[in-house]
Structure 1
Amino acid sequence: MSNLYYGSRNTSLDNCTNVDDLVKRYYLPTMYSLIFIVGVVGNITALLVYMVKVRPWKSSTIIMVNLIITDLLFMISLPFLTYYYVLDDSWTLGNIMCRFTRLIFHFNLYGSILFLTCMAIFRYVAVVHPSHGHSIKQKRWGTLACVLCWAVVVAEISPFFYHFGTEENNNKTYCLDFASNNPKFILPYSWVLTVVGYLVPLVVVCLCYWRIMKELKEGPHMGSTKRVRARRLIVMILTCFIVCFFPYHVLRALRIYTNQTPESNCMLNRWVHAVYIISRPIAVLNIIFNLLLYTLSGDCFKQAFMGMFKCDWLNSKSKGVIKVALISKPATNITYEQSS
């Protein structure tokens, strides 16, 4: 393996099983292709529903639309990443495109984290402080939140413009992933991204989840539709934080550590790199979770979707079946249904 990935200190790499090479060549193109297909179809459909059918827009609508835009921007880079790994780590698209693909991955990652955190905060205000629920739904708060999110994300990933790009080795051009770059810069920068970009939002989401669940248990109307939707939404966001984002940040830190440790075992290096590679598509599976979130956002997305694609005939058909069943019941049962 090229010392671009493992450094020049380990001369026994040729004796190791190249499990990470196999994972990169077969797993990454497959996963990125599937995410691209589902992400493009799902997010374009969701964007059309929001733009054409959902009225009026609320703060949650604005946050969701920005989340869709973030996901679609990432979709642009996936064909290039897939092509790169199919060619066995041979980058042929120039330095600018290399920076773009690596930058947009982290832009999607940390942008999604912030937008999901905003959703949790807005839902917390609506449930725990209902007196402010009406004002928090106003579009200006959603717009302000999204502007702040975009500004923070740009600040977080701005070093990508200066410290990332293509590398030449043995007549081959590489576009190295985040954790395979210069450890002297990557190690502190990775910790900053992990703490500021992930751990702080995770704590905020957990606090919102705890307060919402406490309020739902103690407050009246526990089974109301809005409260049930709020509980499902916050559970979905927390699941996304743990399932998608947590493994990537842990394995990225482990990959950086083993990559800069001279005495690390050859096979340990390979396997750590392999599981880190596996965690990267999992980190952007939040795109699939986001498609489920749109139906829980409280802005009538589900009804708008059904109306736009003429799916409401299913509802009318099911209502007709129910009516027929009621008519066929005995008179005593009909009286009971009406009186109840």
Structure 2
Amino acid sequence: MENSYDLFNSTAFPNTTSMPPMPHCEDWSQIDMSTLIPTIYSIISIFGTVGNVLAICVLAHSSTPRSVANTFMLNLCVADLLFLLSLPLWAVYYSQNYNWTFGRLACKICSALLHFNLYASIFFIMCMSMDRYLAIVHPLRSLSARDPKIAIVTCVLAWVLACLCSTPALILRDIHAVPELSIEVCGVVYPDDTWFLALAWMKIIVAFALPLIVISCCYCIIGRHLLVDTGLIRMKSMSHSVKKCMESKEHGGKLERPPTPCPNARFGNARSLGGRGLQRVLWTVAAVVIAFFLCWFPFHCVTMLDVGKTYGWLKGCWVDWTIQNMTAITLCLGFSNSAINPLLYCFIGHHFRGRLGGLCKGLCACVKARGEEEHSQKRGSFSTRLSSFSRKLSDLKDLAIVENSCPA
């Protein structure tokens, strides 16, 4: 019974192993997931689907659809959208108290999509971070590396790697009957602890630790580069202002134009790169790393607890309670990253919002033109029928005149 209950609380990433049943903890009440999780999944699915569909439409109709950045963004949105389309099935699964009613094939496919999104989205985020690093820190030397064809090949490799990482879920996930409760759960029973530990460590290292290190390093270097460049621009602006100020003093005020003011706290070009512009870039950079960390760190902490329990390092009711109840809740945070990604990578940018506005205006103009065309066609058809009726009426009148004029 305890082993089956573990299957219920492991919708996406099962914690069921060949360990003996855990002790019963009467004082630790379970959280009811039948209402909470479906509600959160529904919100994530609706907002995430709308955001990713809009992002895909804008990127597909962009003036530079095959640029490196757009290629990675488009693949990220597609990967998130594939996962979000399977999320309603999991919401129904939780609302029916872990009773899977969609068949064995759907169980395997939905599980594979969850794992696939876990790896693919993080791989594409990592690729985007490295592309931004090359574009900002090494804009000239990276021209050959930042080729759209190379980006397409990189995306293909990311898809293949994500498929390989999600293959174990496709194979091991299956429907298991629980006669005591008259339900069928969609879960995993690992052959032994080695399988569970190997896949758990793969999730922690490949899907979190390494990408977090790469993303953090890229954006730290980008932030330092922007700050250093701003400082150099300010120093150049200061030296130029000092030079002009000294020249104005040497000429004794006999200048055709007003003397250049001495340097102050703000300087010409530095203001354009500093201030709000620099703050916006740095805050966007910080938001990327923070969102990735906050969304997935809690889930991987719970996974580490499960690993520690399997090794025998951690014991106690609090460990069992956390694994059973917080796995699904922390997964909600991880899944929300699919809805947040379009906001971070697309809608924050002014250019993207402008293209979205242009696309909406174009669609409205197209609908309006089509409506006017249909209206004109209807008016033309009505005019044609009216003129036809008038001709027939005229012909009848002429016929009547001819008949009246004929002798009896």
TM-score (norm 1): 0.80
Partner of 1:201: 211
In 2 relative to 1, CA 212–181 (structure 1 residues): closer, same or farther, beyond 3 Å? farther
Partner of 1:236: 287
* Inter-partner Cα distance in structure 2 for 1:139 and 1:228: 29
Q: Greater CA radius of gyration, 1 or 2?
A: 2
1:153-172 equivalent positions in 2, closer than 5 A: 153-170=162-179, 171-172=182-183
Shift of 1:97: 1.3
1:72-87 equivalent positions in 2, closer than 5 A: 72-87=81-96
Query: Counterpart of 1:62 in 2: which secondary structure?
Result: helix
Shift of 1:28: 1.1
* Inter-partner Cα distance in structure 2 for 1:143 and 1:165: 34
Shift of 1:263: 8.8
* Inter-partner Cα distance in structure 1 for 2:229 and 2:316: 56
Partner of 2:303: 252
Shift of 1:41: 1.1
Query: Counterpart of 2:140 in 1: which secondary structure?
Result: helix
Structure 2: segments with no counterpart, 5+ residues: 7-18, 234-269, 363-408
Partner of 2:225: 215
* Inter-partner Cα distance in structure 1 for 2:350 and 2:164: 30
Q: Does 1:12 align with 2:21?
A: no
Q: Alpha-carbon deviations, 1:162-202, whole Å to 9, x = none? A: 22222222242111279x99644112211022112221111
Partner of 1:63: 72
Shift of 1:12: 2.8
Q: Alpha-carbon deviations, 1:114-167, whole Å to 9, x = none? A: 111111101111111121354455322321221121122112222122222222
What is the number of equivalent residue pairs in this alignment? 307
In 2 relative to 1, CA 56–48 (structure 1 residues): closer, same or farther, beyond 3 Å? closer
1:145-184 equivalent positions in 2, closer than 5 A: 145-170=154-179, 171-176=182-187, 183-184=193-194
Structure 1: segments with no counterpart, 5+ residues: 312-340
Partner of 2:114: 105
Partner of 1:122: 131
Q: Is the CA contact (8 Å cut-off) linking 2:2 and 2:21 kept in structure 1?
A: no
1:88-99 equivalent positions in 2, closer than 5 A: 88-99=97-108
* Inter-partner Cα distance in structure 2 for 1:161 and 1:31: 25
Shift of 1:70: 0.5
Sequence identity of aligned pairs in percent?
27
In 2 relative to 1, CA 297–57 (structure 1 residues): closer, same or farther, beyond 3 Å? farther
RMSD: 2.9
Q: Does 1:294 align with 2:345?
A: yes
Partner of 2:383: none
Q: Is the CA contact (8 Å cut-off) linking 1:232 and 1:296 kept in structure 2?
A: no
Shift of 1:293: 2.5
* Inter-partner Cα distance in structure 2 for 1:246 and 1:289: 15
In 2 relative to 1, CA 116–227 (structure 1 residues): closer, same or farther, beyond 3 Å? farther
Shift of 1:61: 0.3
Partner of 1:318: none
- The letter of the residue matching 1:306 is G
In 2 relative to 1, CA 54–236 (structure 1 residues): closer, same or farther, beyond 3 Å? farther
* Inter-partner Cα distance in structure 2 for 1:232 and 1:110: 25
Q: Alpha-carbon deviations, 1:202-224, whole Å to 9, x = none? A: 11111112211221121245653
